[in-house]
Amino acid sequence: MKEFVHKLSSSGWEIGRDKNHPTTGFSGTNDSKYVLPVSIKQSDLPQQLHTNAAVLDCLLRPENSVDSTLSNGIGVLNAAVLLDMAVASNPPVRVILDVGAQVLELENEEVARKWLSIVPPSDAQAAIYVDERNEICVVSRTGLTEPLQISPFAKLIDRCLVYLDEAHTRGIDLKMPSNYRAIVTLGPDLTKDRLAQGNIAACMRLRKLGKGQSVVFCASMEIQMKILQCCGKTAGDVIEVSDILIYCISNTWQYTKKSLPLWVAQGVRHYKRRAACATLSGLPTDPSSILEAEAQTLEQRYGPGGDKSHEQAIINENVGDPLLSPFQGELNAIRDKCWEFGLDSFRGVNLQEEQERELQPENEREQQVERPNRLPPQPHLVHKDVRDFATTGAISRFSSAFRSAFASLLNTSAGDLFEFPAWPQDLLVTADFAQTVDRAEKLDHYLRPVHWILTKRPACKDTPCVIVSPYEANELLPVIRRNANVTLHIYAPRLSLMNCTLEDLKFCAIPALPAEWTAPSIGVQLNLFAGQLYLQNSEEYLEVCGFLGLCNQAPPENVKVASDGFITPAHRKFCYSKMAHLCNFTRTPIPYLRAVFAMRRKGQAFASSHLGRILNGELLRPEHFVVPGSVVQKIEKLEVWQ
Model pLDDT for residues 60-75, shown as the tens digit of each residue: 888 888 888 775 555 6
Asked whether residue 148 carries a pLDDT value surpassing 80, the answer given is: yes
The stretch 554-582 carries a mean pLDDT of: 78
Asked whether residue 361 carries a pLDDT value surpassing 80, the answer given is: no
What CA–CA distance (Å, rounded) separates 474 from 141?
Answer: 59
Task: Name the band, by pLDDT with cuts 50, 70 and 90, for residue 358.
Answer: very low
137, β-bridge pairs: 129, 147
Of the candidate ranges 412-421, 586-595, 625-634, the one whose mean pLDDT is the lowest? 625-634
Respond yes or no on whether the N-terminal peptide bond of residue 511 is cis (omega within 30° of 0): yes
For residue 219, give Cα distances in angstroms to 77, 80, 185, 186, 224.
7, 14, 6, 5, 6
Instruction: For 129, list phi and psi in degrees, rounded to 5.
Output: -155, 175
The stretch 131-138 carries a mean pLDDT of: 92
What CA–CA distance (Å, rounded) separates 246 from 159?
Answer: 35
What CA–CA distance (Å, rounded) separates 365 from 399?
Answer: 52
What CA–CA distance (Å, rounded) separates 498 from 399?
Answer: 40
Reduced to 3 states (helix: H, G, I; strand: E, B; else coil), residue 211 is coil
- Residue among 383, 529, 541, 546 at smallest CA distance from 465: 529
- Residue among 128, 191, 196 at smallest CA distance from 164: 128
- Type of residue at 77: L
Asked whether residue 323 carries a pLDDT value surpassing 80, the answer given is: no
What CA–CA distance (Å, rounded) separates 410 from 447?
Answer: 12
Task: Name the band, by pLDDT with cuts 50, 70 and 90, for residue 346.
Answer: low
Reduced to 3 states (helix: H, G, I; strand: E, B; else coil), residue 430 is strand
Which pLDDT value is given to residue 162?
93
What CA–CA distance (Å, rounded) separates 274 from 49?
Answer: 35
Which H or E run contains 456? strand 452-456
The stretch 296-307 carries a mean pLDDT of: 72
How does the average pLDDT of the chain come out, rounded?
81
Chain-centroid distance, C-alpha 387: 51
Confirm if 501 and 494 have CB atoms less than 8 A apart.
Answer: yes
Asked whether residue 111 carries a pLDDT value surpassing 90, the answer given is: yes
Residue 206 DSSP class: S
What CA–CA distance (Å, rounded) separates 35 from 257?
Answer: 10
Asked whether residue 198 carries a pLDDT value surpassing 90, the answer given is: no
Which pLDDT value is given to residue 163?
93
What CA–CA distance (Å, rounded) separates 324 from 276?
Answer: 9
What CA–CA distance (Å, rounded) separates 597 from 603?
Answer: 9
Which pLDDT value is given to residue 461?
62
What CA–CA distance (Å, rounded) separates 305 from 312?
Answer: 12
Which H or E run contains 611? helix 610-615
- Type of residue at 181: R
Reduced to 3 states (helix: H, G, I; strand: E, B; else coil), residue 250 is helix
How confident is the model over 14-41, as pLDDT tens digits? 887 777 887 777 776 778 888 888 888 8
Chain-centroid distance, C-alpha 369: 18
pTM confidence score: 0.52
Which pLDDT value is given to residue 354?
45
Which pLDDT value is given to residue 433?
92
| DSSP annotation string for 61-88 | STT-EEE---TTSSS---HHHHHHHHHH
Task: Name the band, by pLDDT with cuts 50, 70 and 90, for residue 279.
Answer: low
* CATH no., domain 51-239: 3.40.50
Task: Name the band, by pLDDT with cuts 50, 70 and 90, for residue 119.
Answer: very high
Report how many helices (DSSP H) and strands (DSSP E) the chain contains, helices first: 21, 15
Asked whether residue 202 carries a pLDDT value surpassing 60, the answer given is: no
The stretch 492-505 carries a mean pLDDT of: 86
The stretch 237-242 carries a mean pLDDT of: 89
Asked whether residue 146 carries a pLDDT value surpassing 90, the answer given is: yes
Q: What percent of the chain has pLDDT over 90?
A: 18
Higher pLDDT, 331 or 453: 453
Indicate the length of the chain as a whole number: 642
Of the candidate ranges 132-141, 271-280, 591-600, the one whose mean pLDDT is the lowest? 271-280
Which pLDDT value is given to residue 203?
45
- Type of residue at 406: F
Asked whether residue 603 carries a pLDDT value surpassing 60, the answer given is: yes
Asked whether residue 425 carries a pLDDT value surpassing 60, the answer given is: yes
Domain ranges of the chain: 6-21+258-354, 51-239, 384-641
Higher pLDDT, 212 or 73: 212
Which pLDDT value is given to residue 306?
52
Respond yes or no on whether the N-terminal peptide bond of residue 478 is cis (omega within 30° of 0): no
Confirm if 617 and 486 have CB atoms less than 8 A apart.
Answer: no
